[in-house]
Structure 1
């Protein structure tokens, strides 16, 4: 039998990942390194976390994306063909001032740096939340759904992500740099190894023996997306943009990637509380739902409102809010048909496998912390 030929890696040229030491960014770096032929560079505010070994040849640069004078010299040194812009404060970790400075002003600086240094392709990390008013259900929402802005948008993070996406897509073939092609990826509820938001908050409830409650009747489907799938979607968009840049005529509307936004999910909506229970099971929980106290949405809203008022009066942060109740009871899942057809996207990590590996990573981190404390 003839030996199986070694499959050559797809070329990606000089790839720059902004925010490449963050949660999503370092997964993009890892996937490019393992599967593509590229010279990889990273710009982050601090490049101490999530670094690859020096032998892998990834270049790391400290830089502030809100300062054009900081970015331009780095871009001129790196000379990237494609830029992945993933840098952003977390949904739970920023003030309004920080969201605007980083997400809007910072994205403006990144775009201008791309335009002034001959970058061919820019892939911007947007958010699926920009089409949500955080109250109404989203059922198989696709890219034709309106982006929620202004007074209708109750999450300022989503407001700034929407504005930044608009800037990124408007830069596609813009007069300032007609050869720069752009696209935006809208991931939904990212989780996985390195997660600082979703996995810790949910798995810690199991460690603290606080799994005996449920808000709502658990008939609301929700999209959760493994981080490697989000990274995969970003890279497919970059490859498509680079291919488009070689064409003498623009692609047809139904084939376009440049100037377009794409939802990316695991293509596996799951009932909201089933996701948490799957995480708890992977962490070792053997119980069913017999011990669970189900709080109806209406009762949850009353309790959440009361807790907000009481804690406001005494100057504390409430453990339950109206926003949390609405979020837990909301249907929120998306169609990824556009990404499938135009990017050739399909998830590379199934939901069950992603849950298992994410909990294993967090359990390992938990054990490491325990060992440090015992030393």
Structure 2
């Protein structure tokens, strides 16, 4: 997205981005700098990566969100109008104890710090997966779908994101701090430059010449969301909360954004394996699908179960799991009509452009790493 001229930038007040050195958080920081005027601060466990140049006038603070005494002085110093809370362990990089501590207890501390320091707007990064049991197809699912209860939720990460969202929504106009307005953003399958989860394994499949395998029949539509669009959704949510805070009366139920959750996607679901092939094409692939061996979902689940058992015996992680098979074969896309209507959301980067930008970034990173090793 091209930078907005200074005279056209929209005011956003004092903003604190928690997790602002991470994948999503750093993109939120970049988008605020390019399109908004703001006193911008970042709070992260370690603020050593994805830092902006000193000329951008972003203030960085190291702090542990699971410790109120660590972050409260930062809130008191920054005095944020808006807090955007993106901090979370990655799905593949954490464990149950970490998910509970950071996602739930950390969010509890962020809420308390916001309540104690007069924050007007708290925007929380939830997950679209909190309404998925990882077995049932989601077809044009919207915010009316219930959150999966713990006994049916097969991913503990999603359970903790749901628990944290409930805390955030309960904090909206809470008697403890009635002026604090909250909102939850539920992005679906984020990808982009710096992505550590979704794109690297897909790109690796191309570079290791393993594009000839497909799990499932590729008749399952899936939402993938470019990271800058997710950042855009968060900032629109913050603006909507600030506008609501200026109202003398509470909005009607069908107009309100505070205390609400919103799905954010690219609004362009594609068949699961078509997305992978779009990535491979951007990497340079000229192959069609003639060479592809289609492994049915049922056979894949059986094979994945056997591999899980065999690898468990030797204490290793299998290259194929039943979770991967279910994920690759699942229909999972969302209706973002609520975000369009109430937040004014629309994707600012299309799916194809997002893929091309991302692959170009990864190729440049690979090139830089190669040059470092050769020195």
Q: Report what 1:195 is aligned to.
A: 195
Partner SS for 1:178 = coil
Once the two structures are overlaid, the 10-residue window that deviates more, 7-16 or 129-138, is 7-16
Measured on the aligned residues, the alpha-carbon RMSD in Å equals 0.9
Is 1:285 aligned to residue 278 of structure 2? no
Q: Report what 2:182 is aligned to.
A: 182
Q: Report what 1:326 is aligned to.
A: 326
- Contact 1:199/1:362 (CA < 8 Å) preserved in 2? no
Q: Report what 2:369 is aligned to.
A: 369
Shift of the 216–72 alpha-carbon distance from structure 1 to 2, 3 Å rule, reads same
Q: Report what 1:234 is aligned to.
A: 234
Is 1:358 aligned to residue 358 of structure 2? yes
Is 1:124 aligned to residue 124 of structure 2? yes
Partner SS for 1:41 = strand
Is 1:343 aligned to residue 343 of structure 2? yes
Q: Report what 2:79 is aligned to.
A: 79
Shift, 1:248, TM fit: 0.6
Q: Report what 1:28 is aligned to.
A: 28
CA distance, structure 1, for counterparts of residue 286 and residue 297 of structure 2: 27
Q: Report what 2:214 is aligned to.
A: 214
Spell out structure 1 runs of 4+ moving beyond 3 A: none
CA distance, structure 1, for counterparts of residue 191 and residue 218 of structure 2: 20
Shift, 1:204, TM fit: 1.0
Partner SS for 2:193 = coil
Once the two structures are overlaid, the 10-residue window that deviates more, 111-120 or 300-309, is 300-309
Shift, 1:149, TM fit: 2.0
1:247-258 counterparts in 2 under 5 A?
247-258=247-258
User: Per-residue CA shift, 1:322-361, capped at 9, x if unaligned?
Assistant: 1110110000000000000000000000000000000000
Q: Report what 1:111 is aligned to.
A: 111
CA distance, structure 1, for counterparts of residue 39 and residue 20 of structure 2: 14
Q: Report what 1:39 is aligned to.
A: 39
CA distance, structure 2, for counterparts of residue 243 and residue 366 of structure 1: 44
CA distance, structure 2, for counterparts of residue 231 and residue 342 of structure 1: 17
CA distance, structure 1, for counterparts of residue 366 and residue 200 of structure 2: 10
Shift, 1:199, TM fit: 1.2
Unaligned 5+ residue runs, structure 2?
A: none
User: Per-residue CA shift, 1:276-296, capped at 9, x if unaligned?
Assistant: 000000011111111111101
CA distance, structure 2, for counterparts of residue 169 and residue 21 of structure 1: 25
Give TM-score scaled by structure 1 length. 0.98
Is 1:313 aligned to residue 313 of structure 2? yes
Shift, 1:6, TM fit: 7.4
Q: Report what 2:300 is aligned to.
A: 300
User: Per-residue CA shift, 1:192-247, capped at 9, x if unaligned?
Assistant: 01111111111111111111100000000000000000000000000000010011
CA distance, structure 1, for counterparts of residue 7 and residue 253 of structure 2: 32
CA distance, structure 2, for counterparts of residue 276 and residue 367 of structure 1: 22
Q: Report what 2:61 is aligned to.
A: 61
Q: Report what 2:99 is aligned to.
A: 99
CA distance, structure 2, for counterparts of residue 50 and residue 316 of structure 1: 33
CA distance, structure 2, for counterparts of residue 194 and residue 80 of structure 1: 27
The alignment of Structure 1 onto Structure 2 pairs a total of residues equal to 371
Once the two structures are overlaid, the 10-residue window that deviates more, 264-273 or 307-316, is 307-316
- Contact 1:149/1:162 (CA < 8 Å) preserved in 2? no
Partner SS for 2:8 = coil
CA distance, structure 1, for counterparts of residue 293 and residue 367 of structure 2: 30
Shift of the 117–357 alpha-carbon distance from structure 1 to 2, 3 Å rule, reads same
- Contact 1:131/1:145 (CA < 8 Å) preserved in 2? yes
1:147-162 counterparts in 2 under 5 A?
147-162=147-162
Q: Report what 1:88 is aligned to.
A: 88
User: Per-residue CA shift, 1:58-101, capped at 9, x if unaligned?
Assistant: 00000000000011100000000000000000011101000000
User: Per-residue CA shift, 1:19-65, capped at 9, x if unaligned?
Assistant: 00000000000000000010100000000110110011000000000
Give TM-score scaled by structure 2 length. 0.98
- Contact 1:85/1:125 (CA < 8 Å) preserved in 2? yes
